[in-house]
Amino acid sequence: MNGHRPRLRVLVVEDSPVARRLMVHILNEDPDMEVVAEAADGREAVHWTARCRPDVIVMDVVMPAMNGLEATRTIMSETPTPIVLVTSNHDPAGGMSFDALQAGALVLLPKPPGPQATTFGQEAASFRMTVKLMAEVKLVRRRPARRPAPAPAAPPGARKVEVVAMAASTGGPAALAAILGRLPPAAPVPILVVQHITAGFHQGLVDWIASVSPLEVRLARDGEPLGAGQVLFAPAEAHLGVDGRDRVALSADPPIGGHRPSATHLFRSVAEHYGGGAVGTILTGMGDDGVAGLRALKEAGGLVLAQDESTSVVYGMPREAAVLGMVDQVLPVGQIARELVAAWNGGGSR
């Protein structure tokens, strides 16, 4: 360990003693981290967060007394702290995990397997790395949201834009909900989405977005025709693109920059087949996935929108695109839906 850098202080919140001991053990294996407190429910989590001021919280979603959603809301209001949610891949709480992401939690992870699992070492290492990365995130201040007026409905016949492609990583579920929840139900174009999220949570994400958006939201299926008003998400471990016949094209090609699905693959695909009729939107997230694809989209004459720093949980992907000159407009997340409507009405800025 670097002697000049203090260890990251972690609070672990889990009502199962066995699961809690396992996570404490996994995290304490890293010389850069130290579990400084443990809690068995959300109320204890709120108490220990205020008392210990941890650098990061690892918290279960389904708990007695106060669940992970309510604890997240309280902590983000009283003592804002990076929160990593953990739950089973098939969350019995349904959309509660994603509501907690909207409330300010950063990322959703599956609970690590026991030491008897053949993948334990690999999954434990990945778990530690994610917790360390999230501890470094500078939190976006959350204010009680007043729901803005919805974007205006598109008039019939105005269809210069043919497709919208969107990509997000850390902080993305809440950003996508903010945008897709404000689009009119009569959207005249299909919307294709890549969201980096752990395998096993894709269907839960889609179900949650569908509950807040007036549009048809589901996982994309290979070969299906694209339809107006559809929001199609890339499924787990498949690149999402389109073919020359206005159909979905899923691909098992190798990951791009460590990602499959990859935003770069999506943006390149819509650039190739729709050119200036495509709008690319890059949202909050770590790294630079999507930037190379936006170059192709921009060169093909498409419109590129990016989320701004003030509303991004992690200003990584949008920043890289903006720095390299790939972006036509940098916007707060609350204004992106209106700009998308303006674009497909023929009034988008280029």
Name the residues annotated as catalytic.
169, 196, 289
Cβ-based neighbour number of residue 119 at 10 Å: 10
Residue in this structure with the two tokens 């839906």, named with its chain if needed = 337
173 by Cβ neighbours in 10 Å (0-12 / 13-18 / 19+) ranks as buried
At 314 the three-state DSSP class reads coil
Length of the chain: 350
Residue 17: phi and psi, rounded to 5, are -60, -35
Instruction: Take residue 289 and report the two structure tokens written for it.
Output: 């996935």
CA atoms within 13 A on the CB side of 47: 10
Rounded distance between C-alpha atoms, residue 161 and residue 183, angstroms = 15
Give the pair of three-digit tokens for residue 79: 């003592």
The span from the CA of 253 to the CA of 22, in Å, is: 35
Virtual CA dihedral for 16, 53, 71, 108, nearest 10 degrees? -70
Q: Look-up: residue for tokens 């609350």?
A: 334
The tokens 């199962």 sit on which residue?
A: 16
Please report where in the chains the tokens 């294709």 appear, as a residue. 192
Q: What are phi and psi of 347, to 5 degrees?
A: -115, 10
Q: Which two tokens stand for residue 335?
A: 């204004």
